[in-house]
């Protein structure tokens, strides 16, 4: 899959590949290859270092991005999957179970879009039905019973919005998950690994620590849908994305998230191993920081955290990293993969 803004890069790569085929020991062609490779590196840095919000949305949707299973393998040493909502059905768009990160027992869950066309169709492209969110609620209850931290991986365009989902209680299932997360007396860590759309994402990311990959997004609505409603023109999706402040950097500045995780140049799909390791390190660090907090303090601070989001500030103030008003703008934390 080639995104529109990536075409200059792909054209250079194709020219270099063709010259390699023809060059042999020809010094003149070898020199041209070197020149084009330098131009390619410069083009990658120029394009990927200045992505627009909508271009980041497109990268977040790339079908080759690491999925739930990839992160599971990087995160945990042992995983026992639990299926079903205990009311009659299972939803493969939401996966989860009991796991171990080092010596720490956790409940791991997340959206799973699939890895190929067949599995994406089977998983409804990560758009969960009510059964998926009731399964998530079941896992939250288990976490409370066992005193195990919750780790959630978010990657969904949104909860499935079909008539049958509404008939089976989609809104009720999501609201029940929000109430459960608000009250659960264990650490809750969420990582947005791709798309974070609407209530389908919120049902897993109401947490004590929210991290986002650099090229992911979190929003109440997709840019195309927003443009259709506000501008009556879905072709203005890029304009809508700019106004919606849905990127990791925007959300960091406004105190909605706590951490931005870097991606390899071009997106997570260009180096899945480095990306999954970066997410694993972030989760382990957050678990360590939250592990000593008393259950009552966790619930209280979580309540205060979400009361601060969207709070009105006096003129000249901004939201800092802890969500409080400050006269100094907060800068996004973007660390290298090696950290």
State phi, psi for 139 to the nearest 5 degrees: -70, -35
Tell me which of 38-47, 106-115, 275-284 is least confident.
38-47
Q: Residue 126's pLDDT is what?
A: 93
Higher pLDDT, 152 or 43: 152
| Contact in structure between 209 and 228 (CB atoms under 8 Å) | no
User: Regarding predicted confidence, which is higher, 327 or 204?
Assistant: 204
Tens of pLDDT, residues 75-115: 998 999 999 999 889 999 999 999 999 889 999 999 999 98
Q: Which two tokens stand for residue 167?
A: 């008939």
Query: Would you say residue 326 has pLDDT above 60?
Result: no
Banded pLDDT at 13 (limits 50, 70, 90): confident
Domain 57-326 fold: 2-enoyl-CoA Hydratase; Chain A, domain 1 (3.90.226)
3 state DSSP class of 267: coil
pLDDT, mean over the chain: 88
- Residues near 29 by beta carbon (within 8 Å), at least 6 away in sequence: 19, 22, 23
User: What per-residue confidence (pLDDT) applies to 314?
Assistant: 57
**Furthest CA-CA distance within the chain:** 72
Helix (H) or strand (E) holding 80: strand 78-81
Domain extents in the chain: 4-50, 57-326
User: Which pLDDT band, with edges at 50, 70 and 90, does 7 fall under?
Assistant: confident
Element (H, E) at 273: helix 272-290
Whole-number Å distance between alpha carbons of 111 and 128: 8
pLDDT > 50? residue 327: no
Q: Which pTM does this prediction carry?
A: 0.85
Q: Is the pLDDT confidence value at 34 over 80?
A: yes
For 154, the 3-state DSSP assignment is: strand
Asked if 190 and 205 count as a contact pair (C-beta separation under 8 A), the reply is yes
pLDDT at res. 1: 74
């Amino acid at each position: 899959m080639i995104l529109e803004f990536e075409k200059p890069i792909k054209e250079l790569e194709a020219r270099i590949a063709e010259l390699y085929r023809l060059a042999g020991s020809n010094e003149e062609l070898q020199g041209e290859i070197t020149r084009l490779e330098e131009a390619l590196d410069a083009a990658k840095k120029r394009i990927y270092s200045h992505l627009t919000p909508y271009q980041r949305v497109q990268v977040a949707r790339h079908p080759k991005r690491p999925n739930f299973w990839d992160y599971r393998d990087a995160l945990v040493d042992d995983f026992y999957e639990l299926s079903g909502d205990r009311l009659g059905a299972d939803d493969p768009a939401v996966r989860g179970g009991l796991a171990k990160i080092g010596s720490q027992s956790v409940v791991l869950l997340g959206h799973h879009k699939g890895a190929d066309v067949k599995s994406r169709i089977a998983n409804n492209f990560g758009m969960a039905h009510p059964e998926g969110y009731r399964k998530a609620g079941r896992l939250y209850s288990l976490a409370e019973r066992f005193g195990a931290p919750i780790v959630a991986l978010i990657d969904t365009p949104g909860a499935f919005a079909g008539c049958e989902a509404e008939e089976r209680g989609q809104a009720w299932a999501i609201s029940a998950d929000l109430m459960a997360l608000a009250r659960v007396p264990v650490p809750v860590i969420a990582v947005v690994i791709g798309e974070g759309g609407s209530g389908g994402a919120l049902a897993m990311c109401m947490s004590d620590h929210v991290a986002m990959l650099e090229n992911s997004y979190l929003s109440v609505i997709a840019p195309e849908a927003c443009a259709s409603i506000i501008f009556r023109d879905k072709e203005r999706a890029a304009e809508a994305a700019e106004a919606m402040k849905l990127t990791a950097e925007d959300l960091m500045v406004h105190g909605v998230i706590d951490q931005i995780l870097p991606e390899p140049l071009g997106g997570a799909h260009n180096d899945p191993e480095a990306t999954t390791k970066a997410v694993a390190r972030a989760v382990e660090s957050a678990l360590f920081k939250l592990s000593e907090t008393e259950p009552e303090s966790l619930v209280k601070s979580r309540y205060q955290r979400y009361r601060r989001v969207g709070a009105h500030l006096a003129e000249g103030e901004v939201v800092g990293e802890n969500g409080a008003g400050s006269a100094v703008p907060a800068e996004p934390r973007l660390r290298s993969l090696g950290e």
